[in-house]
Structure 1
Amino acid sequence: MSFDPLQERGIPLDEQLRTWRELNVTPIDPDAADPYTRCRIITMNGIEVEAVMFSHHLARHCADLEVERQLARVRYIEAQQQKAVNWLLPGSSSVLETTIAYEQVAVDLTAWVARMEPDPYLKQAYQFGVLEDFDHLYRYANLYEMIERRKAEKIVGQLTEVMPGRPTYQHHRDPIDNVRRPYERRETEPLSRLHALTIMAAEQQTMNFYMNVGPTYMEPIARQLYQEIGLIEEEHVTHYESLVDPGESWWEMLLNHEYNECYLYHSFMETESEPKVRAIWELHLMMELEHLRLAAELFKRFDGRDPDQVLAPALPPPVTFEPNKGYLRDLLTTQVDVTTLGTGYVREAHERFTRMQEAIMGGEQPPSERVIEHNRAINGREYRLETEGPHPVGVRLTP
């Protein structure tokens, strides 16, 4: 049955405030929970962080005091939602274990979006980015084995493979080559808008996480690897945020944000295997329906349009966390040697790419390569998790 958030009634805003006791959620059991439950938690944390920060930016450009007050009321509830979601993660997990889960999110969420994306240019953007997150997972998994003496399958299960992707050192590009061409808001399908917002928010949260946790390690190689990959996550945020049409008004962007939250909470409510977590997704969906209604009223008031002109008439099929092993292997075989040039993609190491590589490396081996060498020296081999067949051989970029 189709679900149209604009036609559904949610919880009135005045009834959404929760007490400390209600916010004190019980975290998942890291040893018993489905790895994809953790992925859904991490995803919705990123979505809620984006909702809060977007609302703050909108408020800073809002001259209407009453509207600013309404934004503040909704934003406080979004902040409570973010706390409830993020606090579902277990305190017993190390920073590195959470990092590996973040990269599992990046791999399987982006791969799923790439598979479902109807626009060929946007699909290419997701296919390009996922091969880099795939390699980040491999680098952090080796660091995890080296520092904590554990294997990444403890976290990702058998759902996501761990193997080299596009080598991390090749992700350092001239910043101007990280900017993509945006979709055209009047022509793009509503699903494409939701995809762009989702992946942008997820990558932004990863960037923020690495910026804050990177220096908390004592081991020099760990600090250096977080620094290197943290810079690449900044590139990824640039890559994905530039896909969004900058011509969208503040009120259209607010509408899209709230609709996307409804879409994701509904998706995860439909696919969640953990009952207590599913109950939170359902509660938050009922809250977001009211947030969407309020955003729709602001959109009609300030943009003079009906929300049906920009939103899908019903939610698309649910976003699904599922294995993407075959899809990723195909991408490794066909696209591992791709880099960016301007708003497009090429297979040659052009002048700007080479110049950036020389400048950032400074004649030294990067941390992402050294972590693999260190783990080989300690354990006699690098860490991989391959569940089927041989690792596809890709072509590396050469100047």
Structure 2
Amino acid sequence: MAFDPLQERGIPLDEQVRDWRELNVTPIDPDHADPYTRCRIITMNGIETEAISFSHQLARHCPDTELKRQLACVRYLEAQQQKAVNWLLPGLASVLETTIAYEQVAVDLTSWVARMEPDPYLRQAYEFGVLEDFDHLYRYANLYEMIEHRKAEKIVDNLTEVMPGRPTYLHHRDPVDNVREPYDRNTTEPLSRLHALTIMAAEQQTMNFYMNVGPMYMEPIARRLYQEIGLIEEEHVTHYESLVDPGESWWEMLLNHEYNECYLYYSFMETESDPKVKNIWELHLGMELEHLRLAAELFKRFDGRDPDQVLAPALPPPVTFEPNKAYVRDLLSTQIDCTTLGTGYVREAHERFSKMQEAIMGGEQPPSERVIENNRAISGQDYRLEVEAAVSR
């Protein structure tokens, strides 16, 4: 039977606060956990971080003190959820190991969304972005081998290929060419709203992560690579956030955020292989059902509409982490030479792109190319993990 979050009872708000013992979750075992369990954790951390950030922005634009208090109550619970989710990651993992896991999320989550997206223009936006994250994974895997003398295969576990995508140095574009056309909130499919929110939040998390961890390295090549790819992640956030219709009211955006959280927690509860982690997804779903109910009441009160006019009547099929090797290889063979111009895509460099390339390179070899050369000099070859393209999508 289809799951309709608006018809389900959640955990009452006054029963959701957890003490330190409950928040002190047991992290996953980095050597034995399913890599896609780690991907689900990273995804939900990004979703919860976006929920908290959005709630703060809403509160800063809300003149009603009582509404601010309600937002603060829910936001505190979202913050507890974010801590429980993010603390599932093992402290043993290095920054680079976590970075490679972030890029695995970007590749396989964005590929899945692109495959499921009903709108051709939005699908093109995801297909364009995934080839760049795919190349970032390749660059970081080489840095990992060079600095830590380990293989990314241990992290991605053959589920995601590691090989060149659209070369990273070609990702630097004039900022005006990173802005896309938004979907139309009056006509778009509810699923498209969820996809846009999900990928925006995931990329925003990656951007923030690289902004903060890059200076933690002593090695100059690592610091420079994080700088370069961190700038590209800023481009990606611009790319994806511009897909969301700016005509949505604050209360409509809040409703979409809460519904998307229900969708993802339900999806991961249905597909999770680790029983302990699955219990957390189930608990958080129960919490989010109540957050959604409160958001729906605010939407009805301030927008004067029924949530059914905006939301799907039931959750779509679960978001699934699975290999996308054949799909990505097909994109590599057909779209690797794409860049952006205005809100569209072209296959040849244009004046603004060439000027940006000249300005950002400064006559030097970019870090993303240097890391490959350095690893070849040390290891005798660049690191790649390739498997049969015939593997199921």
Work out whether 1:235 is the aligned partner of 2:235: yes
Per-residue displacement from partner, 1:338-388 (whole Å, max 9, x unpaired)?
A: 000000000010000000000000110000000000000001000000012
Match of 2:171 in 1: 171
Partner Cα separation in structure 2 for residue 22 and residue 235 of structure 1: 38
Which letter does structure 1 place at the counterpart of 2:224? Q
Q: Is the contact between residue 217 and residue 223 of structure 2 (CA under 8 Å) also seen in structure 1?
A: yes
Rounded Cα–Cα distance in structure 2 between residues aligned with 1:296 and 1:199 = 23
Residue-by-residue CA offset, 1:170-206 (whole Å, 9 max, x unaligned):
0000000000000000000000000000000000000
Question: What's 1:275 paired with?
Answer: 275
Instruction: Tell me the amino acid that sits aligned with residue 128 of structure 2.
Output: F
* Secondary structure at 2:62 match in 1: coil
Residue type of the alignment partner of 1:343:
T
State how far apart, in whole Å, the 1-side matches of 2:158 and 2:144 are.
17
Residues 253-279 of structure 1, C-alpha deviations (whole Å, 9 max, x = no match): 000000000000000000000000000
Aligned-partner SS, 1:154: helix
* Alpha-carbon distance between aligned partners in 2 of 1:265 and 1:388, rounded to the nearest angstrom: 32
CA distance in 1: counterparts of 2:389 and 2:111, whole angstroms: 20
2:96 counterpart of 1:67: no
Question: What is the aligned partner in structure 2 of residue 206 from structure 1?
Answer: 206
Matched, 1:305 2:319: no
1:389 deviates by 5.6
Partner in structure 2 of residue 128 of structure 1: 128
User: What code does the residue aligned with 1:154 have?
Assistant: K
Describe the SS at the equivalent of 2:44.
helix
Q: What SS class does the counterpart of residue 340 from structure 2 fall into?
A: strand
Aligned partners of 1:304, 1:389: CA distance in 2, in Å?
Answer: 51
Partner of residue 380, structure 2: 380
Aligned residue for 1:253? Answer: 253
Structure 2 counterpart of 1:147: 147
The answer to whether 1:51 aligns with 2:54 is no
After TM superposition, the structure 1 = structure 2 runs for residues 12-51 of structure 1, keeping only pairs within 5 Å, are 12-51=12-51
Could you tell me how far apart the structure 2 residues matched to 1:3 and 1:379 are?
51
Determine the C-alpha separation between the residues in 2 that align with 1:31 and 1:126.
Answer: 31
In the alignment, what sits opposite 1:394? none
Q: 2:17·2:77 contact (CA, 8 Å) conserved in 1?
A: yes
| Alpha-carbon distance in 2 for matches of 1:40, 1:359 | 38
CA distance in 2, matches of 1:199, 1:389: 25
- Which ranges in structure 2 are unaligned for 5 or more consecutive residues? none
Alignment match, 1:395: none
Decide whether the 8 Å contact of 2:8 with 2:289 is kept in 1: yes
Quick one: structure 1 residues 389 and 111, their matched pair in 2 at CA, closer, same or farther if it must change by over 3 Å? closer
Q: Which residue of 1 aligns with 2:217?
A: 217
Query: Aligned equivalents of 1:388 and 1:282: distance in 2?
Result: 36
Amino acid at match of 2:216: T
Give me the whole-angstrom Cα distance separating, in 2, the residues matched to 1:62 and 1:11: 26
- The number of equivalent residue pairs is 390
Q: Match for residue 363 of structure 2?
A: 363
**2:325·2:389 contact (CA, 8 Å) conserved in 1?**
no
Following the alignment from structure 2 to structure 1, what is the Cα–Cα distance between the partners of residues 306 and 388? Answer: 50
- The letter of the residue matching 1:270 is E
Task: Tell me, in whole angstroms, the C-alpha distance in 2 between the residues paired with 1:361 and 1:117.
Answer: 35
Aligned to 1:195: 195
- Partners of 1:31 and 1:188 lie apart in 2 by 42
Structure 1 stretches lacking a partner, 5+ long = 391-399
Letter of the 2:27 partner, please give it.
Answer: P
Cα-to-partner distance string for 1:114-161 (whole Å, 9 max, x where unaligned): 000000000000000000000000000000000000000100001000
Contact residue 329 and residue 389 of structure 2 kept, 8 A? no
Q: What SS does the aligned partner of 1:314 have?
A: coil
Matched residue, 2:8 = 8
Residue 309 of structure 1 deviates from its aligned partner by 0.2
Secondary structure of 1:17's counterpart equals coil
Which residue number in structure 1 is paired with residue 328 of structure 2? 328
Secondary structure class of the residue paired with 1:345: strand
CA distance in 1 between counterparts of 2:91 and 2:218 reads: 20
Runs of 4 or more off by more than 4 Å in structure 1?
A: none
Instruction: Give the secondary structure class of the aligned counterpart of 1:340.
Output: strand
CA spacing shift, 1:358–1:284, aligned 2, 3 Å: same
Contact conserved, 2:326 with 2:389, CA < 8 A, in 1? no
The answer for the alignment partner of 2:102 in structure 1 is 102
Residue 343 (structure 1) aligned with residue 343 (structure 2):
yes
SS in 2 for 1:2: coil
Q: Which amino acid aligns with 2:90?
A: P
Q: What is the CA–CA distance in structure 1 between the aligned matches of 2:60 and 2:132, rounded to whole Å?
A: 34
Letter in 2 for 1:196: A
Deviation per residue, 1:311-345 (Å, 9 max, x gap): 00000000000000000000000000000000000
Deviations 1:27-61 (A, max 9, x none): 00000000000000000000000000000000000
For 2:246 and 2:271, the matched residues in 1 are separated by: 33
Distance 1:277 1:165 in 2: 32
The structure-2 alpha-carbon separation of the partners of 1:389 and 1:82, relative to structure 1 and needing over 3 Å to count, comes to closer
CA distance in 1, matches of 2:208, 2:80: 19
Query: So what's the TM-score if we normalise by structure 1?
Result: 0.97
How much identity, in percent, do the aligned residues show? 87
